Structure 1
Amino acid sequence: MAKSDNKTKPTPVSPTEFVAAVEHPTRRADGEKLLGWFEEVTGYTPRMWGPSLVGYGRYHYKYDSGREGDMLITGFSPRKANLVLYIMPGYRDMSDKLARLGKHKVGKSCLYINKLADIDMEVLREIVEDGFSYMKENYDTWPE
């Protein structure tokens, strides 16, 4: 089976410059806060992944199909519609934490919030730390 490249790869773009260029003032301010917050929580320096993902750390995955590659361990993207936070292992029984988080929606590995003021940052820390620890325990990971 031919292996396709992961389209989301690290880029040389500065995460600080990327966030500073976000047009929506609330998304930009929340992105600026998250830049340092994720660095504090993970201990890793941010790096851009593709054109719009600010990532922390890197892990290597390999699917049963043979496809493999590297991806960010956790991170965020200040998109037009909302902030997207990436919790890579997904939400393995995090219902108690999610119930305490505040206004949000979830996807498979994405947490969608309108603005940081809508959520409890301490609960978000619990969620990110849980996902980050899971990834480090179950995958080959390294700082990026």
Structure 2
Amino acid sequence: MATKNKTVETDQSVKDFINSFVEKEQKRQDSFRLIDLMREWSGFDPKMWGSSIIGFGTYHYKYASGHEGDAPLLGFSPRKAAFSLYVIAQGNDNQKFLDKLGKYKMGKACIYFKSLDELNLSVLEKLCKSTVQYLNQREGKVGC
């Protein structure tokens, strides 16, 4: 029996989420800056996904196991310890981007960083735009 996805788009206000969830002023400022950048780079407005992910656009995925669902093209979460950045970092081109991105740690499914000041924003832009292009080519369509 298929399990229901926990991380789905919600109607929660992104602005209200940041103002109530993010405690440190610098992280709040970085969150709003990242929203502006990802909106520009993706062409989509921010939406809440689950209780703490801010996503831009959507794509549909289906695994070989049959599990499928929708996910944001780009996303981030301003978690207490660090930001979690959700992008697709695959292939040689993206490894070149990661090598020049700045100070971060790589997780299984995301990139962790403490502050936007620690990242090369022009490289982050290329990584984000590459993600949107990759998913658009792989999935054939992306939506809002």
TM-superposition CA deviations, 1:47-94 (whole Å, max 9, x none): 00000000001111111111111111111110000111101x333222
Structure (1 or 2) with the greater helix fraction: 2
SS of equivalent to 2:58: strand
In structure 2, the residue matched to 1:17 is: 16
Q: Output the amino acid matched with 1:38.
A: M
In structure 1, the residue matched to 2:59 is: 59
Q: What's the % identity of the aligned pairs?
A: 37
TM-score (norm 1): 0.92
- Give the CA deviation at 1:12: 0.7
Aligned length: 142
TM-score (norm 2): 0.92
Structure (1 or 2) with the greater strand fraction: 1
Write the mapping of 1:1-144 to structure 2, written as runs, cut at 5 A. 2-21=1-20, 22-87=22-87, 89-93=88-92, 94-144=94-144
Could you say if the C-alpha distance between residues 69 and 63 of structure 1 is closer, same or farther in structure 2, counting changes exceeding 3 Å? Answer: same
CA distance in 2, matches of 1:108, 1:90: 11
Query: Which stretches in structure 1 are left out of the alignment for 5+ residues?
Result: none
- Give the CA deviation at 1:122: 0.4
Q: Output the amino acid matched with 1:9.
A: V
Superposition CA RMSD, Å: 1.3
CA distance in 1, matches of 2:141, 2:4: 19
Contact 2:135/2:142 (8 A) holds in 1: no
TM-superposition CA deviations, 1:78-114 (whole Å, max 9, x none): 0000111101x33322222112111011123311111
SS of equivalent to 1:96: helix
Q: Output the amino acid matched with 1:13.
A: Q
SS of equivalent to 1:47: strand
Q: Output the amino acid matched with 1:103.
A: K
Q: Output the amino acid matched with 1:3.
A: A
TM-superposition CA deviations, 1:108-142 (whole Å, max 9, x none): 33111110001110010011111111011111543
Query: Which stretches in structure 2 are left out of the alignment for 5+ residues?
Result: none
